[in-house]
Amino acid sequence: MLTTRSVPDGDKVAYWNDWVNRTLGPMTVTPRGDGPFDARIVTDRLGYLQVSTMEADAERVSRAPALTAHSSEALVAFGVQVSGTATFVQDGRRAEVGEGDLVVCDRSRPYSFDYPQRFTTHIFQLPHHVLGVSTGDIQQATGHAISTRDGFGAVLLPFLATLATSTDACPPTVADRLAGNVVDLFATLLAERALPGLPDTDTARSHLVLRIREHISRNLGNPELSPESIARTHRISIRYLHRLFENEGITVGRFIQKRRLEECGRELARRGRTAPTMSAVAQRWGFVNPAHFSRAFRAAYGVSPREWHTLRTADNDARRSLAGTPTPSPTVAWRPGAGLPLSEG
């Protein structure tokens, strides 16, 4: 904890500027009152997450364009206004921040906070890259006051308030895991802000899962399709991607493999008596290694790809002879096998 109370009055402002710059990055702090300036900041860390609580007299905090060049790392800060009010300006937007409101501030770009009276705020600062979201998604959230009185914010606020006052009680292993969970929550908040017109988090999450499933179906033939590439494309963290699929009853990697095997099975069932090249079918749907494809197919359906082709061809011939007309290819039945090999993603 750092405080100005033991510092001579004439040195308080310089002392405060120095320590705030060390703690939160390059900025300029200008007190708004004429009397002795009183302020304190308490800072702790949870892995890569820095948690600070700042209490100070009326002041203006700003970061001019010239100061952005002094940052060695792109940082994003999530602030919760505990008491007092603020006017927050960033990216050409101006927000009036009240008690309980949350703001998102990109520390790599100019901004300003005006606090007209004494205030307290919790600040959660972390590297941009760990969020797994684009700069554009962050820019959609900056310059706004996000209410925590309803929706996802109402769930997030009590958790952040508790976290800000109890970080010193966490052993390192718990701190690292807790930091990851906080990042997931912030990434969810940014994803929700990036999906306009969605009234609640459940709807936003369902919409995002649908988009991801459609993306997977469109890119099954790409051998580079993976949880990492999906998270990158949708500008979310890998951790959050896996969290989204917890309610789907299957991991992301297994879902990709399941869809690839389904398409391979459909193609093999549609072929005529001339047996297709198994490796060609496998590669067309994203399997690089034919041996891996064969093992995965047998684990899922109980027969090899070639046996599947033979059985489906015979079945189709029997149906045609009975009906006298061509029939659609049979629907592939998925048989959840234990221990599916997942080296292909």
**Domain residue ranges in the chain:** 2-194, 205-323
Which pLDDT score is estimated for 259? Answer: 92
Which pLDDT score is estimated for 345? Answer: 39
Class of domain 2-194: mainly beta
pLDDT digits over 145-177, tens only?
Answer: 988 877 777 878 888 888 888 776 677 767 777
Superfamily of domain 205-323: Homeodomain-like (1.10.10.60)
Number of other residues whose CB lies within 10 A of the CB of residue 198 = 17
pLDDT digits over 213-252, tens only?
Answer: 889 989 999 999 999 999 888 777 787 788 788 777 789 9
Which pLDDT score is estimated for 335? Answer: 47
Q: Is 252 helix (H, G, I), strand (E, B) or coil?
A: helix
Which pLDDT score is estimated for 120? Answer: 97
What is the torsion angle, in degrees rounded to the nearest 10, for the CA atoms of residue 211, residue 213, residue 218 and residue 219? 110
Q: Is 213 helix (H, G, I), strand (E, B) or coil?
A: helix
Gyration radius (Cα) of the chain, Å:
28
- 101: nearest Cα among 85, 112, 125, 115: 85
What predicted TM-score, i.e. pTM, was given to this entire model? 0.58
Strand partners, 2: 41
Q: Is 18 helix (H, G, I), strand (E, B) or coil?
A: helix
Strand partners, 9: none
List the structure tokens of 99: 């008690």
- 142: nearest Cα among 96, 94, 83, 183: 94
Same fold, 2-194 and 205-323: no
Which pLDDT score is estimated for 188? Answer: 79
pLDDT digits over 88-122, tens only?
Answer: 999 999 999 999 999 999 998 899 999 999 999 99
* 227 touches 212 (CB < 8 A): no
Parallel/antiparallel/unpaired status of strands 111-115 and 93-97: unpaired
